[in-house]
Amino acid sequence: MADVKGSKPYTVVLDWGYDWWESGAAEVRATMGGDDDPQVFHVWADDACDASDFSDDMAAERFGETVAQYLKHVAILHGHAPLVRDGE
């Protein structure tokens, strides 16, 4: 990860690709983790490209490489924006 000094905060939103819902991924969903919600990562980076890379690394740490490959980038936002949950 980039040195925080001189870096900027980013929020990266990843969501599950269409193949996450295919029958071939059912065993992965059931046995290796992951869920149905979009995944939000708060990172410090020099630019949006680095923020994207850092979020990929964090997804692999959270879910493992096999599950993380089903996550696709949806948005990269300036700042650290929390995801609003149902009912909030």
Task: Give pLDDT, residue 4.
Answer: 65
The 10s digit of each residue's pLDDT in 65-80 is: 988 998 999 999 999 9
Strand order of the β-sheet with 8-16 is 39-45, 8-16, 71-78
Structure-token pair, residue 25: 């991924």
Please check the confidence at residue 85 and state whether its pLDDT lies above 90.
Answer: no
Q: Is the distance from CB of 32 to CB of 66 less than 8 angstroms? A: yes
86 vs 54: CA distance, rounded Å: 27
**Which among 45, 42, 22, 26 has a CA at the least distance from the CA of 34?**
26
